[in-house]
Amino acid sequence: MKLVIRSTKEISGEATPPSSKSEMIRGLILATLAKGTSALKNPLHSQDTVDAIRACRGLGANIMVRTDRVIVESRGVPLQSETTVNTGNSGVTTHFLLPVLGLRGEKARPVTLDCGDQMKARPVESLVSALQRLGMKLHVQPQRGKKNISARPAHGKGQAIRPSFPLQISSELFGGKAGVSGVSSQYLSALLMSLPCAKNDSVITVDNLEERPYVEMTEAWLNEQGIVYEHKKEDLRFQIKDLSKTTTTSAPPRLTDAVHFSHSEDRTLKVLRSSKSSLLTPSKEVEKKSQATRDVYTIKGGQAYKPFIKMIPGDFSSASYLITAGVLFSGTVVLHGLDMQCPQGDKELVTILQKMGADIRIEGDTLTITGGKELTGMTIDANAIPDIVPTLAVIGTQATGTTEIVNVANARLKETDRLRSMTEGLSEMGGDITEHTDGLTVRKSVLHGASVKGYNDHRTVMALSLAGMLADGETLIDTAEAINKTFPNYVEMMRSLGAKMRQK
């Protein structure tokens, strides 16, 4: 499917963005782990949540989907799974369920976790390595008569075997000590959600954690459930421990002898050293700073989740396109259901736009945006907010001066390489944009319509649709069906505000 967009002059009206995908999927999985009946109010109905619901049903949960709520009935841990669980192309669901599949009891039969082709291209070595250290046995499923082979990270001596799907899980998640890469917050969140249900206590070490707000979102769920854990953060540059962020209700296990993860095990550097990326330079801002932190989590085992009722808040990631449209075009846009006190990192877009000169008023959970104000470029450290990097790139084309988006190499490890996809798309449309290994430099530009690739990435498609609204003439974006992943009624909602776009 293609998205056809024509130049738009004014955006006005009221809208309520979709509910948070990140909160919704966390809720579905924790409700599956809890014994009893839970309810998720104001749910998100999208392809990612459809995939998550199907997968949780495969773990034995009885899930009833209604317009205003999703009800989950579960027997809790130990889970009773089908022989195969498929998570589609939902990265959050796939990563979160890998350790959850180790909570089926020691006599459970092997289970296979499979996913979509897009998800299979994303790195998972670090999480697999950590799970093996925590007692799980994972095997790459045989193909064409070959025997199963143990999944192990591509490092060390001998032939490297990169873990890939489908993966077979044949033993329990016992707990213990392990390190995991900080390149994706989903790895750590997966462990934090599962390890409280393991038999033994655990110590998890993460160096240079990225996308930190998503981990804080997971912590908020754990805190609501009364889960016992301890979090210590260290600054490796000075080796001084910061004990200010500690959540515990009983004496934790000792933190000594934690296993630290080696970053040679993840694929970030491989991605950055690809044929084109190897010719790029890092953004200047990042050269001046070194992210050198270590997070240590101690998680008490043998705990249980309780059933709950939870209202899913609005999604700032999805709202980012509506907020940006309201800022870049004349008119007034009022958005409801957006709580600036929530732990979602992408709410930072509001602050960034205000600093650039946008007129955005916050009253409770309502944003009122008066558009058409002059914006000034600035330097944005996007390490914690990689999902809105495509949107920030479009904003940069309309801001006076230069906009530097820095410290966000992790944006290359999403559904597509978003630094590359936005550089190519905006360049085709006349944008003045330079790609770096870890960011983008964008200068004010006059955009024109063009046929561009969406790379089957919902964030790239929706961001480029904003560029199409700004451009002279007509813009066509392919793989527009990708928007169903998180924002199925995106076109309808944008049209209701005055955007000239349609599906073809």
The two structure tokens encoding residue 476:
């066509």
**Mapping DSSP to helix (H, G, I), strand (E, B) and coil, where does residue 342 land?**
coil
d(CA 459, CA 481): 12
Q: Is the pLDDT of residue 473 over 90?
A: yes
d(CA 265, CA 263): 5
**Mapping DSSP to helix (H, G, I), strand (E, B) and coil, where does residue 105 land?**
coil
Q: Per the annotation, where are the binding residues for 3-phosphoshikimate? A: 21-22, 26, 184-186, 387, 410, 414
Residue reference for tokens 């970030």: 268
Q: Per the annotation, where are the binding residues? A: 21-22, 26, 91, 122, 184-186, 387, 410, 414, 418, 459, 485
d(CA 203, CA 257): 9
DSSP state of 462: H
**Mapping DSSP to helix (H, G, I), strand (E, B) and coil, where does residue 301 land?**
coil
d(CA 494, CA 450): 20
Q: How confident is the model at residue 284 (pLDDT cuts 50, 70, 90)?
A: low
Q: Is the pLDDT of residue 155 over 80?
A: no
Can you give the pLDDT at residue 482? 96
Q: Per the annotation, where are the binding residues for phosphoenolpyruvate? A: 21, 91, 122, 186, 418, 459, 485
Residues 39-55: tens digit of each pLDDT: 999 999 999 999 999 99
DSSP secondary structure letters along 348-376: HHHHHHHHHT-EEEEETTEEEEE-----B
Can you give the pLDDT at residue 264? 32
Residue reference for tokens 């409280």: 196
| Sheet strands side by side (includes 439-443) | 379-381, 402-406, 439-443, 432-436
φ and ψ at residue 412, rounded to 5 degrees = -80, -10
Catalytic residue, from 387, 417, 438, 457: name it.
387
Q: Say if CB 110 and CB 88 are below 8 A apart.
A: no
Q: How confident is the model at residue 332 (pLDDT cuts 50, 70, 90)?
A: very high
Q: How confident is the model at residue 151 (pLDDT cuts 50, 70, 90)?
A: low
Q: What is the mean pLDDT of residues 272-292?
A: 54
d(CA 49, CA 63): 12
The closest alpha carbon to 43, from 58, 59, 56, 60, belongs to 56
DSSP state of 341: T
The closest alpha carbon to 214, from 306, 309, 294, 316, belongs to 316
428: number of CA atoms within 13 Å, CB side?
Answer: 18
The two structure tokens encoding residue 473:
């003439």
Strands 84-86 and 111-114: parallel
In the predicted model, what is the mean pLDDT of the chain?
Answer: 88
In the residue annotation, 387 being an active-site residue is answered as yes
Q: Which domains does the chain have, with CATH numbers?
A: 3-18+314-503 (3.65.10.10), 21-311 (3.65.10.10)
**Mapping DSSP to helix (H, G, I), strand (E, B) and coil, where does residue 9 land?**
coil
